[in-house]
Amino acid sequence: MSFNEVKDLISNKKIKAKTERRILLQYIETSKCNICHEILSIPMMVTPCGHTYCYECLLTWFKNNENRELNCPDCRVSIEVEPCFNFFLHLNLKFLIESIYKKRKKESKVSELLRGREQDYIRYHKDKNANNMFDNIFKNSAVAINDVDDDGIPRCSNCHWELDPDDMEEDENVCPHCHSRIRNIVINERGASTRDRPFGNRPENEDEYSEGEYDEIVDEIRPEDSDTGDDSNDEERREEEEEEEEEEEEYDSDLDSFIENDELAENSEELANDKVESAFYEVDDDEEHDSDFYEHNDEGFVSGDSLNEESENELEQEPIEVEIEEEEQEEDDDDDESQYNKSRKRNKIQVILSDDE
């Protein structure tokens, strides 16, 4: 049925009065603001869900929970974009109310209602013209965006600071670096990569473990110095073990320098092969460097590649410095990443040893 046909039906009075009333009732029911339970005054539509509330109600709701995320009162979806004035609905409701109260405009109740709606309209236009919509909440806040280039970690859209959902205060959703309110809930998408979690995704009952307990358990179960690296096979390893036992002393004294050099050589190869990994070396180790980096790179997020170029250059020019960094990393046993690299490195050294024999 086309638009014109429906229009004809209505203008020719072919719809029953009962149906008309039902439509009207349904219309007024859906035009209710779920916050104040009145007919919407300055209807503002929330995206992406489309729920609509009065401008005033929405503003007080946003301001009420200061420093919390902004969500839709009905469906709790995060409101990342400023709600939009629903002009069409506003016109319809204006027409509806004016026609219902046409002959009762002088009653105090009716005039109060109409005056209230007019004041709301004036307030909205004032805010809009002053470029001060929603008390500038949307201008003075940020959203958390998951950085696809960097393992999906969430970052503040204002200052690009890395946000940790576990570090967020329970009743505050604020960036720890620039202190801007974060409009959406911070979610870590790192779970998608299973490499740094030997058992894949976290178990459902993880809540039962106290903070950090799960990680400890995983570390305990993880076989020490086993073939985490995938490029050594069993035979080789057995040979190496024998070698190690026989030449332990020699290994300690004579081969030390040799190994370190090889380690470096191997390491630079590794860096070239696995660029994302090398990004971790730099970013994790030196916080000052980290923040400097952000200051110089205001556009876009950090990508592993850009960092890697720097780190590679450093490796070539000043090998000694890198050596120290490596040692520091080895000391840091809690870090999953460094443990992983450590065991991998060891395996590679062992392979080289056996090749020499």
Partner 1 sequence: MESRILKEYKDSRSLQSQYILALDPISTDDLTHWECTIKGPLHSPFANHTFKLRIDIPQTYPLTTPICKFEPFAMPHPNVNFETGEICLDILDTNWSPVFNIQYIVEAIVWLLNEPNFKSPLNLDLANLLRFDDLKAYHDLISYHLNNSAK
What track of x and - describes contact with partner 1 for positions 199 through 228 (by CB under 8 A)? --------xx--------------------
Interface residues for partner 1 in 301-330 (CB under 8 A)? none
Residues 6+ apart with CB under 8 A from 15: 9
Contact set for partner 1, span 108-167 (CB under 8 A): none
Question: Using the rule CB under 8 A, which residue among 35, 113, 218, 264 binds partner 1?
Answer: 35
Eight-state DSSP code of residue 140: S
Cα(134)–Cα(236) distance, integer angstroms: 68
**56 vs 150, beta carbon nearer partner 1:** 56
Give the DSSP H or E segment for 268.
helix 255-273
Question: Measured from the CB atom, is 208 or 211 closer to partner 1?
Answer: 208
Of 3-11, 15-23, 28-36, 146-154: span binding partner 1 (CB under 8 A): 28-36
- Give me the least distance between CB of 153 and partner 1, in Å please: 24
Minimum CB separation of residue 207 from partner 1 in Å reads 6
Pairing of the two strands 84-85 and 141-142: unpaired
**Minimum distance, C-beta of residue 51 to partner 1, in the bound complex (Å):** 9
Min CB(34)–partner 1 separation in Å: 4
Nearest to 260 by CA among 344, 345, 356, 357: 345
CB-neighbour burial class of residue 188 (10 A; exposed 0-12, middle 13-18, buried 19+): middle
Of these, 14, 16, 18, 37, which contacts partner 1 (CB under 8 A)?
A: 37
> Which residues 40-79 are close enough to bind partner 1 by CB under 8 A?
57, 60-61, 64, 68, 71, 73-74, 76
CB of residue 41 vs partner 1: minimum separation in angstroms?
Answer: 13
Strands 181-182 and 141-142, bridge-based pairing: parallel
Q: Which is nearer to partner 1, 68 or 197 (CB)?
A: 68
Tokens 């002088």 locate to 106
Provide the minimum distance between the beta carbon of 171 and partner 1 in the complex, in angstroms, as a whole number: 7
Number of residues that bind partner 1 (CB under 8 A): 18
Range 61-97 burial, b when 16+ CB lie within 10 A, else e: ebeeeeebbbbbeeeebbbbeebebbeebbeebeeeb
Task: State which of residues 34, 92, 158, 268 lies at the interface with partner 1 (CB under 8 A).
Answer: 34
Q: What is the largest CA-CA distance in the chain?
A: 107
> 205: how many CB neighbours lie within 10 A of its CB?
8
d(Cα 279, Cα 305) in Å, to the nearest integer? 8
Give the shortest CB-108-to-partner 1 separation in angstroms.
Answer: 16
| Helices 55-64 and 108-129: angle between axes, nearest 10 degrees | 60
Residues in contact with partner 1 by the rule CB under 8 A: 34-38, 57, 60-61, 64, 68, 71, 73-74, 76, 170-171, 207-208
